[in-house]
Each structure stands twice: as C-alpha cells, then as structure tokens.
Homo-oligomer: A and B are copies of this chain.
Amino acid sequence: MAVKARQRLLAAARELFYSEGVRAVGLDRLLEESGVGRASFYRHFAGKDELVAAMLDDYDSEYRTWLRARVAELGGDPLAVFDAVAERAELTRFRGCAFVNTMAEIADPDDPVHMRAAAHKAAVRDYVAELLTAAGVGAADRIAARWMLLLDGAVVTAGYQRNVQAFSEAKSMAGADLAAE
C-alpha cells in the first residue's frame, strides 16, 4: 500500500467518528473501511481509545495549523476566524464540531479523550486572544472567550439546522462585540 496503515487508520477514524460518532462505529467497521488488518491495528494502537486520542491530536494539530494559515491569508484580521471556520464547515457534510461532539459522547471530564477535546478548545481560544492582542485590542482574553461562545454557537446551530447562515450571524455579533469594547 502506498499509504501506511497508521495513517489510513487515522483518516478512517476521523471520517467515521466524525460523521457517525465515536461510540457508534466499532472496530470491525473501522478496519473494513481502512483496509487494515485487525492485528496491524493493535500493532499501532493499544486500543480503540488510543486511536480516538491519537486522531484528536492529529486533527487538532492539522486544524490549528490550517486556521492560522487561512487567517493569515485573509489578512490577519481577528474577525477572519469566523470566515475561516465557515469555509471549513461548507466543505464536508457538516455535523458540528468534532471536539464538541466527542465531549458530548465521552462524558467523563477526566477521560483522556475528553481532556484532549477540551484542550483543543482552549488552544483555539488562546489563538483568538493572540490575534486580538496583535490587533491592539485590550481585554483580549475576555473578548476571546466571548468569541468562542459565538463560534461554538454558530457551529452547533449550523450543524443541527443544516445551513451556514449562523456563521455570518456570529461574525456580525462578534464585530459588534469588538466595537463595543
């Protein structure tokens, strides 16, 4: 195979776990979809939980790298994060935020999987605060927290309403929030 088993597993995990849910997809399904043998799977991961964790790490890294790059392309305006997130949502069959959905499924806040998802959210918030600070905004932390609320709200409502209008609403509220500061 051109692509290694581990990467195929991570790709299949991201796709299947996102579109159907972590608990809804069993190992059999995962192996069939990725074309990886059962034994090979356990050579790469200690178990399903570790695959989920590795997939989230992988996704978190890629997502944030992409977000930084895209916002920079759009000029570095903090408000561009709303455009970037909206773009990403339009690409795939959108079902909300993978990290939020994972925390909804893996309820225990002390579970490593849950903690990784929460850490992703905190990292994005810190990045937004960094953007705001760079733009000369005071109280960047507080604004960033409010913007995360808007981003999560937009992602969730866009997910269950199956339209992307929510993103432009969120952006307009974020702009108003920034101007009011």
Contact = CB atoms under 8 A, between A and B. Distances in A.
A157 B147 CA distance: 11
A104 interface: yes
Interface string A109-142: 1000000011001000000000000000000000
Contact of A121 (B20, B24, B106, B160): B160
Contact of A105 (B23, B157, B176, B180): B23
Interface in A71-110: 95-96, 100-101, 103-107, 109
Interface residues on chain A, size class: 35 or more
A177 interface: yes
Instruction: Kindly report how many copies of this chain are found in the complex they form together.
Output: 2
A148 interface: yes
Given A177-B173, A177-B176, A103 B149 contact: no
A103 B104 CA distance: 9
A149 B176 contact: no
Contacts of A100: 104, 156, 160
